[in-house]
Structure 1
Amino acid sequence: MTPASHSSHHHRHLTRLLLRFLVYLLALFLVCMGLWVNDNFGEPSLEQVLYHLQFGMEGLVDTDAQLIHSFIQQALLLPLLLALLVVGFEFVSGYYLSRTLHHPAGWAHSQARRALKVSYWVISHRAPVYVLMSALAYFCVQFSMLAYLHSQFGRDYFSEHYLDPRKVTITARQPLNLVLIYVESLENSYRDPALFGSNLLASLDALNGLRFERFRQAPGTGWTIAGITATQCAVPLKSVSLYNGNDQGHNIKSFLPNAVCLGDILHDFGYRNVYMGGDALSFSGKGRFFLDHHYSEVYGREELKQGRSKADMNFWGLYDDDLFVYARARLQALQREGKPFNLTLTTIDTHGPDGHFSRHCQQRGVTDFPGIVRCTADQVASFVQFMQRKGYLANTRVVILGDHLAMSNPVYKQLDSLQQRTIYNQFIGLPSAQKLREQVLHFDMLPSILEFIGFNVEGGRLGLGYSAIKAPKDVDMPLPEATIFEEMDKDLLNESDTYLQLWKPSVH
């Protein structure tokens, strides 16, 4: 072999080695990425993953440092290390098998030689392909790729069923103030003594409000901003809405500008909308949502931390005990102003994968995740009791909602053992309200909340939602079809021109 041919052969060998390394790296990244997502978020849909990749990642880096560190370690460095180890093992094994095949003295048996040749051929040619195919299959199963493909070609359920709130007459009966509290990942499973030895939400139940026992999680509602959007706008959150035609690759600059949501409706009736939450407003577009839908005051981590050091906050932002201190003060100021208001809060301490131990909960001796859940429930109940002592419930109604079902957390296996899991909810302040049914979805909350705080919604429908509450003097309201959840589960996230119009720049 000439020096030139030897150099060319060496170059080809290195190129093949690099290509094999890159294929292994891609395959292992897909697997490790899926495992990381599962560990931190449970089993999210591809819609949720795409949403955060396309719209909400701007706030992730500075929102949860621990999450970023675990991603770097588990989804980037681990695949890199494993790919190096696999290629190194292949190189050594291939070298050994090649030498043995060229010196067959010890391999006189023909079947042994054939097996050795097959092993050498697999290692030298097909192994990366097989590994990548297996990784792609795992990734498709993990993120429900078949369901996503179905959504590109299936029936346009949304267009068939969406009722534009602009076409509905909403009138003020005896409108009262609203305090709307989204409790992170709060579900009814935590009330089950068989799972946790006692009802972790007993303090909330003791408030004796109106509850819907079957608050189910429809598609496009299963993470915080999706749950907020669905309950306030009666529409799901879908990643496919963010890109279209010439806008491909550029983020939409406003959040559902053509949707009519709770804040918009209340603003039109003279309400002051205020949002307070402990995490960063930039994460998942939450701040943009509230600002674009007539919340005149929007407070997140940066607005509320007021000189706090990192040691005084969790990885997301303020602990819930600090949030409720600010919420009490703002609520008192709003009451003094004497004008109608909506105060919306979101908690964070029960967020997976581990939860967050506030100073208040630590002082109570909380050492595990069920303790965080109980402590959070007690703090929400204490906030409502504060309102009762102040006499605020005379002119204010309270709605407590889990934003979605719990994702990965230390007790997720216990939660997942239940045949059907439902989201916690409670409506406080109207003893005479009538429940129309037990099963509700996120979309039903928009008309239900309006009815609850003293408005009449003509026909009881807004967006995809059907009111589940009516005052005694209201006319009968339509009920959703018995199969509504199953139909939504199958077709709600399908491509929809009507849904896409909600994201296009407003022409109003």
Structure 2
Amino acid sequence: MKKKTNKSILSILAISILVISAVIISLSAYISIKFADQGIEEMLFYLVSGTEGASNDVFISAVFTSLLPFLIIFCIIFMPIMKIKKRKNIIEVKIKNKEFFFNILPNNFIYKFRLLYAFFILFISLITCYQMLGVNNYIKSLTEYSTFIEDNYINGNDISMTFPKEKRNLVLLYLESMENSMIANENGGGWNYTVIPELEKLAKENVNFSNSDKIGGALPITGTTWTVGGLVGTTSGLPLKIPVNGNEYTSSTNFLSGAYTLGDILNKEGYNLKAMFGSNANFGGRTNFYKRHGNYDIFDLNTAIKEGKMKESEKVWWGFDDSHLFEWAKEEITSLANSDKPFSISLLTANTHFTDGYLESGAEKIYDTQYENVFAYSSKQVDDFVKWLQQQNFYSNTTLVVIGDHHSMQPDDYYTQRTYGGYSRTIYNTFINSAVDPVSSKNRIFTSLDMFPTILASMGVEIEGDRLGLGTNLFSDRKTLVEELGLNYVNKELGKNSEFYNHKILQDDYFDLMRKAKAQENQ
């Protein structure tokens, strides 16, 4: 009886390990396909900072998409140790009048050593994960050090910034996953037709910094290719690089404590600061970032429920749809404009988030794919918002910046099937009612990091040296770092470990001293 129990325990352990192995392989395949452009650093960031507030649809989609591959993989790796009472000999071999019988699958020999077999499969699954997710490159980057950030970083505390006598308001509108691909290729996009005509028109009629002589935008750079990374990059001129044990660096007091950001600058200049998200602002540590840098007043899903604007049961997609975001943003902007202080409000849409986006009931279904229809409706919503803003009495002294937070995360084949060969996907931008004109806005090579000083310059701020963080003011004639050194080189250097970033940006020396002093007090 005891022997039988031990065998049962052995089988349960083996099956459990095989289940884990199948999960690892199927999820690795899902991530490598669905997040082809995303690095392991992004995944680690969300593991560190938490996924509170993430859309349930994303998790449900991942589960359902991975379910069939998981079942197939599990059946394949489980078959060699299946317990069948009556086994049929599949192969019979005669050698010198002797008969040899072999069981292929299931196999008695493998079944006898099923636990060892299960650990072997687990090892193979970890190797598969290691290769698929690029863990090898990430580990390599941790062991390679670079002084690039230290050599090129410009701290806003160390240079002069001169605001105009009458400080301008700033409306900073982030469009989730908005890139230029869905603009007609004759105007700089990748599609044969335009899906976002209103955004295309806004870019043509206002300042659009481009990598070509048509509509274009920023190229992706390390540490900025997901939402929080994009928000950090465009407001600090720094990539978001968090170590594996970095949960303490994404807290409300420590989130990039050594960085000097747009929020810090505007807060120091007496601005009223507001940030609005159509989701839970805690997702990805956004609350901590905006509170730590500028002490923004935050409006998100939780705020909308608390203020009675919606019920918990009315939650859709990531929180509330973009129609409500723009509706409530108008109310908040009107309130901010009635103050005697200048204001800055940052908005982040959500409808165009992958996969396939969220199509509101009022949206037209013009195109073959839902994703296109979502983008088309988003373009109309932005245009309506811009027209409303232009009609307000405070508009003349307000700069509106409309930028994508990063590339779309829709699977790559969605774009390769619809864009022409050689098309370079870039992140959307347009500067409306800017206080200054650019020296040259076309044929520039730049990244999200360059948006930081450029946003300030569009408000009429004069920046000594035209550089902040690792970014360059695009309104000036100064070359960006990627124009000077090459995109591949800068990407490679930013991917390496940086002692300066770890000790000066992640945890400012001042905060180090404060922590040490507090620790000594507690002893």
TM over 0.5: yes
Preserved contact between residue 196 and residue 370 of structure 1 (Cα < 8 Å): no
Q: Which residue of the partner structure matches residue 503 of structure 1?
A: 506
Instruction: Call closer, same or farther: CA 1:361–1:162 in 2, change over 3 Å.
Output: same
Structure 1 pair 479–254 and aligned structure 2 pair: CA distance change class (3 A) = closer
Q: Tell me which residue corresponds to 2:468.
A: 462
Is residue 114 of structure 2 the alignment partner of residue 108 of structure 1?
A: no
Residues 149-175 of structure 1 show CA distances to partners (whole Å, capped at 9, x for unaligned) of 221111323233222222121111354
Task: Give the alignment of 1:85-104 within 5 angstroms.
Answer: 86-87=77-78, 90-92=81-83, 96=87, 100=89
Query: What stretches of structure 1 of length at least 5 have no aligned partner?
Result: 471-475
SS in 2 for 1:290: helix
Instruction: Classify the secondary structure of the residue corresponding to 1:322.
Output: helix
Tell me which residue corresponds to 1:178.
170
Paired AA for residue 440 in structure 2: K
Q: Partner amino acid for 2:125?
A: A
- In 2: Cα distance, 1:188 partner to 1:141 partner: 31
Identity of aligned residues (%): 23
Q: Which residue of 2 aligns with 1:473?
A: none
The 1:12/1:83 distance shift into structure 2, 3 A limit, reads: farther
Deviation at 1:189, TM superposition (A): 0.6
Confirm whether residue 164 of structure 1 aligns to residue 165 of structure 2.
Answer: no
d(CA) in 1 for partners of 2:21, 2:44? 19
Equivalent in the alignment of 1:32: 26
Match of 1:204 in 2: 199
Contact 2:172 / 2:345 at 8 angstroms: preserved in 1?
yes
Q: 1:352 to 1:492 in 2, by over 3 A?
A: same
What is the TM-score normalised by the length of structure 1?
A: 0.85
Letter in 1 for 2:474: A
Q: 1:465, 1:153 → 2: CA distance?
A: 26
Give the aligned partner of residue 428 of structure 1.
Answer: 432
Does structure 1 residue 147 correspond to structure 2 residue 150? Answer: no
Within the candidate set 316, 331, 334, 2:333 is matched to 331
Residues 383-462 of structure 1 mapped to structure 2, 5 A cutoff:
383-408=385-410, 411-414=414-417, 419=422, 420-430=424-434, 432-435=437-440, 438-462=444-468
Query: Does residue 57 of structure 2 align to residue 66 of structure 1?
Result: yes
Contact between 1:31 and 1:139, CA under 8 Å: does it hold in 2?
yes
Deviation at 1:65, TM superposition (A): 2.1
User: What is the CA–CA distance in structure 2 between the aligned matches of 1:264 and 1:24, rounded to whole Å?
Assistant: 51
Partner SS state of residue 96, structure 1:
coil
Determine the C-alpha separation between the residues in 1 that align with 2:34 and 2:124. Answer: 23
What is the CA–CA distance in structure 1 between the aligned matches of 2:402 and 2:478, rounded to whole Å? 23
Deviates more, 1:156-165 or 1:42-51: 156-165
In the alignment, which residue of structure 2 is the partner of 1:56? 50
Residues in 2 aligned to 1:367 and 1:44: alpha-carbon distance in whole angstroms: 23
Query: Per the alignment, in what secondary structure is the counterpart of residue 371 of structure 1?
Result: helix
CA deviation vs aligned residue, 1:37-73 (integer Å, no higher than 9, x gap)? 356544421100100011132x14xx42223334555
AA paired with 1:448? T
- Taking structure 1 as reference, are residues 16 and 491 closer, same or farther at Cα in structure 2, changes over 3 Å only? farther
Say if 2:237 and 2:451, in contact at 8 Å, map to a contact too: yes
Contact 1:278 1:323 in 2 (8 A): yes
Q: Give matches, 1:361-400, under 5 Å.
A: 361=363, 368-400=370-402
Q: Deviations over 1:354-387 (max 9, x none)?
A: 2112243259999722011011011112211212
SS of corresponding position for 1:421:
coil
**Alpha-carbon spacing, 1:359–1:338, altered in 2? closer, same or farther (3 Å):** farther
Q: Cα distance 1:77–1:171, how it changes in 2: closer, same or farther (>3 A)?
A: same
5+ residue gaps, structure 2, are: 212-217, 515-523
Note if contact 1:39-1:408 (Cα within 8 Å) is conserved in structure 2.
no
**Aligned AA for 1:262?**
L
Contact 2:224 2:239 in 1 (8 A): yes
Contact 2:181-2:419 at 8 Å conserved across structures: no
RMSD: 3.4
Partner Cα separation in structure 1 for residue 417 and residue 365 of structure 2: 27
Structure 1 residue 434 displacement after superposition: 2.4
Alpha-carbon separation, structure 2, partners of 1:220 and 1:367: 30
Figure out how many residues of one structure are paired with residues of the other and give that number. 486
Secondary structure of the corresponding residue to residue 430 of structure 2? strand
How far has the Cα of 1:233 moved from its partner?
A: 0.9
The answer to which structure has the higher helix fraction is 1
Q: Which moved more, 1:210-219 or 1:41-50?
A: 41-50
